[in-house]
Amino acid sequence: MTTATPLLKVTGLKVAYGGIQAVKGISFEVRQGELVSLIGANGAGKTTTLKAITGLQNVAEGDIEYLGRSIRGQGPWDLVRQGLVMVPEGRGVFARMTIAENLQMGAFVRNDDQIGRDIENVFGIFPRLKERRNQLAGTMSGGEQQMLAMGRALMARPKLLLLDEPSMGLSPMMVDKIFDVVADIYKRGVTVLLVEQNASRALQLAKRGYVMESGEMSMSGDADQLLKDPKVRAAYLGE
Ligand code: ATP
């Protein structure tokens, strides 16, 4: 892979649930070292797109290339092993395990002696998790569970981190905290594809952005240009 090769390249992706076309032939890419935001209303097909990339949903047509090679048809575990890691909508923490155990689970694909050190790194990013390391994940607040889900994903040492609506359902203070952490993770060198309904915050953070509408990619460009665009402002920024 040369530096010009995108880390992730999606071409003509179509995904259907039975007869319902949820994703209708979209193309986009994420380059090494970028933070790219994918915004769109409820039901636009954003989650379906992430599921198709991570092998959780069948692809009807099109291709997905990661690190310069097609990954279409590969399963989620293989992809995590290659550094393609998703934090799902709704967090998906293991409710009956402690925070520390959840973080250990994140390292399931690894077989090295750095796991303990990486857990300490995650505690450095999220001191709250360290304070509560022995608490059951299911008893934590939504914001804390989001932190844990992100910490667990970092334990897999992602090259590309896919975040599905990390700010959903959180208090304004927690939303600030989560966006700060996304920026921090990105500054540490992880390439990020951020799916958000909070278009304003997502585009402020990103270098480039894509807008999805009814299963299609309706706009794309530099995030600051999208933020200024009257159509984006009217549809997604409540103006
Ligand atoms: P949200 O922000 O609400 O998650 P989204 O942009 O992520 O929205 P998707 O969840 O990808 O959108 O949904 C895209 C379309 O596919 C919607 O019309 C939705 O109803 C439909 N859909 C999603 N999951 C399924 C499923 N398992 N079976 C049938 N239809 C589904």
What ranges do the domains of the chain cover? 32-57+74-236
pLDDT tier at 112, thresholds 50, 70, 90: confident
pLDDT tier at 4, thresholds 50, 70, 90: low
Does the reported pTM lie above 0.85? Answer: yes
Candidates 173, 187, 107, 183; CA nearest to 144 is 173
> SS3 of 143, please?
helix
Integer-rounded Cα radius of gyration of the chain: 17
Cβ of 45 below 6 Å from ligand 1? yes
Q: Is the pLDDT of residue 1 over 80?
A: no
Cβ of 42 below 6 Å from ligand 1? yes
Cβ of 19 below 6 Å from ligand 1? no
Are 198 and 40 contacting, i.e. CB atoms less than 8 angstroms apart? no
Reported as a single tens digit per residue, the pLDDT across 33-56 is 999 999 998 899 999 999 999 999
Amino acid (1-letter code) at residue 125:
I
Span from the CA of 86 to the centroid of ligand 1 (angstroms) = 17
Helices (H), 133-217: 142-154, 172-187, 199-205
The domain defined by 32-57+74-236 folds into Rossmann fold (3.40.50)
Rounded mean pLDDT, 65-78: 94
pLDDT tier at 3, thresholds 50, 70, 90: low
Rounded mean pLDDT, 137-142: 93
Task: List CB contacts of 112: < 8 A, sequence separation 6 or more.
Answer: none
Q: What residues pair up with 147 in beta bridges, in sequence order? A: none
pLDDT at 2: 53
Reported as a single tens digit per residue, the pLDDT across 183-216 is 999 998 999 999 998 999 999 999 999 999 999 9
Are 146 and 178 contacting, i.e. CB atoms less than 8 angstroms apart? yes
Q: Is the pLDDT of residue 91 over 60?
A: yes
Task: Please tell me the number of Cα atoms within 13 Å of 205 on its side-chain side.
Answer: 27
Q: What residues pair up with 17 in beta bridges, in sequence order? A: 20
